[in-house]
Amino acid sequence: MALPALVRAVVVAVLAATASSAPPESPQSDTCGPDEESADTALLQKVRLLRQKKDPSAELSAEPSAELSAEACDDQFTTYPYLEAGNWGTNYIGWETCGGRSQSPINLKKARWCNKWERGGKLPLNYRRLNTPHIKNTGYHLKIAAGVGNIGTLRIGVTMYDAKSFHFHSPSEHTVEGKAAVAEMHIVHMLQPVAKEADFAEDDDVAKDLNLLAANQSLGYGPIAVVGILFDVGRENKCLKDAFSELTRASCQRTLSQLNLLKCFKKQVKGDFWFYDGSLTTPPCTEGVNWFVFKKRATISKEQLKLLQATFLDNARPTQKKNGRQIGFHKVVWGWGSAPSESVSVFEDLNLDPSDNLENDGV
C-alpha cells in the first residue's frame, strides 16, 4: 500500500523541478506581449480536454424548449478543427495565411510595457439601437446581426467602417499577462464599400464582403476592423440575457428583443484600449485587420457562461507570435480630440502608474 504515497512523492518532485527550471520572465519587457505563444496556450488545451470529458451541455435540459420552435434553420453551417489550430497554416489547403506573420489573437501586456503609448479621445464608435436583431449559430460561433442594415460605424481618422455583426468566443482569444478571460466578444467592421452592393444578391452577405474585401485591398486600405471586449464571471449581463437564454442549434437563427451595443457596453467602449495590426482569428485568417481590444471588462453570469460553453466545446484560437509587430496602448484623456489619430503623442519613456491595472465591471 506504499505505492500511492511513492507515486505522489515522484509527481511532487517532478513538478517542483519543472517550476524551478522555468526561466523567470523579465518584469521590464518593452513590448505588449512576448514574441512567442502565450503560456495560456497549454492551459487552453487542458480546458479543451476537460470539456470533452465533461460536456457542459449535459447539465442543460435534453428536451428542447417550446421557444425553440421559433428557430429558422437552413442546414448550412461551418465548423473549424480548433484542436488542430496549430496546423491550420500547413495542413489545410486555402488556409495558408493562418501561418502568416501578422496573425491574431496575441498575448497583451499592461500599458507600461507597450511599444508605444498614445493620449487622445475615445474610439469613435457610433452604434445604433437594434430593434429586431437575430442570433445565429454559424457552427463555430454565435453571431448577432441587425435584422436590416448595419449595426453602426467606426471611424479611424477619415476612414469609415460599417459594423456588420458581433460574435463570441469562450475562453477569450486574446490574453492579458498570459491569462485568458472567460469569454470575448468581437464586433466586426468592414470598410465602407467602394463597389456597388447592388452588384450582389441582396441576401448574399458573404459574397458582398469577399468582393468588397478584394476591391478594398487592391486600393491599399485596411478592409477590416475588429473591436474586442473581454468578459469576467460576475453580474448577469442584461443586454445579452435574451441571446443567452436558450441553446441555438448550428445553422439556426432566432429573433431577439431590442439591443443597443453603445448603451450596453458604454463603460467599456469609452475607455482605454490596445491596438495592433493582425488577422481574422478563423480560417482563412485574412491579415490586414485593425484590432482594438478594450481594457475595461464586462461581465456575464455563471449561467450565461454555461450556455455559451454548452453551445461550443471550444472556439478560441491560441495566441500567435508577434513577429516584431508594434503593439500600442491608447489612453483616453477627456478634452482631447474625438479620434486617436487626431491627438497622438508617442512616448519613449513611459512613466505610468503601476496601479493602472485591469478593471472589471458589469453592464
pLDDT digits (tens, 9 = 90+) for 158-169: 889 999 999 999
Distance CA 267, CA 269 (A): 6
What are the two backbone dihedrals, phi and then psi, of residue 142, each rounded to the nearest 5 degrees? Answer: -90, 120
- Interval 87-118: pLDDT, tens: 999 999 999 999 999 999 999 988 777 787 88
Confidence of residue 8 (pLDDT cuts 50, 70, 90): very low
Residues 110-132 have a mean pLDDT of 86
For the chain, the structural domain boundaries read 70-342
Structure confidence at residue 171 (pLDDT): 96
The helix/strand/coil state of 110 is: coil
Q: Is the dihedral of CA 88, 274, 227, 303 positive or negative?
A: positive
Distance CA 274, CA 111 (A): 8
Cα torsion 291, 292, 298, 301 to 10°: value is 0
The helix/strand/coil state of 224 is: strand
CA distances from 159 to 156, 162, 288, 332 (A): 5, 10, 15, 20
- Biggest alpha carbon–alpha carbon distance for the chain: 77
Which of 8-22, 192-206, 287-301 holds the top average pLDDT? 287-301
Structure confidence at residue 77 (pLDDT): 92
What does DSSP say about strands 252-255 and 134-137: parallel, antiparallel, or unpaired? antiparallel
CA distances from 34 to 76, 113, 263, 306, 307 (A): 39, 11, 35, 31, 33
Confidence of residue 134 (pLDDT cuts 50, 70, 90): very high
Structure confidence at residue 247 (pLDDT): 87
Distance CA 361, CA 363 (A): 7
Amino acid at 43: L
DSSP code for 100: S
Q: Decide which of 3.20.20.140, 3.10.200.10, 3.40.50.2020, 3.40.718.10 is the CATH code for 70-342.
A: 3.10.200.10
Amino acid at 147: G
8 Å CB contact between 330 and 273: yes
Distance CA 108, CA 274 (A): 8
Structure confidence at residue 83 (pLDDT): 93
> Exposed (0-12), middle (13-18) or buried (19+): which is 103, by Cβ within 10 Å?
buried
pTM, rounded to two decimals: 0.72
